[in-house]
Chain A
Amino acid sequence: DADVTQTPRNRITKTGKRIMLECSQTKGHDRMYWYRQDPGLGLRLIYYSFDVKDINKGEISDGYSVSRQAQAKFSLSLESAIPNQTALYFCATSDGLAGGYYNEQFFGPGTRLTVL
């Protein structure tokens, strides 16, 4: 079974709709991240969480919100979706206990979101 899972894998929605993307992990990691991927722009950080009570904005948090329901679950919401939020969304986890600055992140398979 995959260590980091995302649901749904694909979603098509309309402008103005509320959308929630979910991420679950079985790695036991404290740190979780949400990124969006756009062609040629790489991955850009939306939000991250270092533990259940810790939520931080990333580079491009406007128009998004998150919820860390448990150590293993981190959800991303688009309150009112707009077309320029069409992208590939990735959840990732890392072990906050890793020594030094080594920070391997483990990625889910991604959710392809299309906003019409």
Chain B
Amino acid sequence: GEDVEQSLFLSVREGDSSVINCTYTDSSSTYLYWYKQEPGAGLQLLTYIFSNMDMKQDQRLTVLLNKKDKHLSLRIADTQTGDSAIYFCAEANAGNMLTFGGGTRLMVKP
């Protein structure tokens, strides 16, 4: 079955890098996503990576994918207080449906 796991909390200081980790179990996953949820709002797509890629960089965001270990990470460089939110990883299965992890709450301290 499908299972996506994330740690619940991460606390960093402003200006440091944040690394949020995710593990998944479905080896047939084609796309893997990172969504961001700010307080009182719905989820918004942050970035995604196709399963045949190892890395994707988009400004301050770097996504690393290790297919062998089924491990996905999101690195946020120069973390700002506005990055405080809950981050969800999600995998798309063969039926094109998303399975979400439990979310990691990122707290950025000034």
A101 and chain B: residue at smallest CB distance: B30
Contact status A105-B98, CB under 8 Å? yes
Contact status A102-B42, CB under 8 Å? no
Which of A41, A101, A106 gathers most chain B CB within 10 Å? Answer: A101
Size range of the chain B interface in the assembly: 20 to 34
The 8 Å CB contact of B96, one of A4, A92, A101, A109, is A101
Separation in Å of the A92 CB from the closest CB of chain B? 8
Contact status A107-B96, CB under 8 Å? no
Cβ–Cβ < 8 Å partners of A109 in chain B:
40-42
Cβ–Cβ < 8 Å partners of B98 in chain A:
45, 103, 105
Number of interface residues of A (CB under 8 A): 21
> Bound complex: CA of A42 vs CA of B48, how far in Å?
18
The 8 Å CB contact of A101, one of B4, B31, B41, B43, is B31
Contact status A107-B103, CB under 8 Å? no
Apart from A101-B92, A103-B96, 5 more pairs, CB < 8 Å: A4-B42, A40-B103, A104-B48, A107-B42, A107-B44
A interface residue numbers (CB < 8 A to B)? 4, 40-45, 48, 90, 92, 100-110
